[in-house]
Amino acid sequence: MVKKNSSDIVNWEAEEYLQRSKGKGWYIGFVVVVLGLVALSIVLKWWTFTALVALSSVALLIYAVRSPRKLHYSLSDKGLHEGSKVYNYEDYKSFGVMQEGDKYAIILTPRKRFSPRVTVYFPQESGEEIVDAFGMRLPMEEVKLDFLDKIVRMLRI
């Protein structure tokens, strides 16, 4: 859904991330790995690691079953607005477009070395308008998945 306001170049709504399907096998594998790590840490008497595994697994499980929120995005002369958060154009050196299945995303590459990339999904029907708006402000580069992105996709998180 694309709407225009006087101060915005383009507006749309999209889910904050892609929810990948997970079957029973994924959950069984998750439990097996967690129990294996807990057992190993108990045998080795790594109590802090035991607590870390327990807390991390609960957080990952909550994240895995939680449905993505629908967020409102807009582009202005200042930058990308995600709800009340603003990503200024000058903080990013380039952008790229990535397709996963039937979903499309803009990936913003930060200028700072250790800053994370920003991924914003958008509806296909408004893609040309969104990509053109970014293209007027940032150079477009090919986006490649880094090691962590490949692991996240493989684990279907």
Measured between alpha carbons, how far is 48 from 53 in angstroms, rounded to an integer?
9
Burial class (CB in 10 A: 0-12, 13-18, 19+), 130: buried
**Assigned architecture for domain 2-18+67-155:** Roll (2.30)
Question: Where are the domains positioned within the chain?
Answer: 2-18+67-155, 24-65
Q: Which residues contact 22 (CB under 8 A, 6 or more apart)?
A: 64, 156
Q: What is the pTM of this model?
A: 0.77
* One pLDDT digit (tens) per residue for the chain, 157 residues: 444 444 568 899 999 888 888 889 999 999 999 999 999 999 999 999 999 999 999 999 998 888 889 999 999 989 999 988 999 999 999 999 998 878 899 999 999 988 889 999 999 888 999 999 999 999 999 988 888 888 888 887 7
First to last CA, the chain: 26
Residue 121 contacts residue 15 (beta carbons within 8 Å): yes
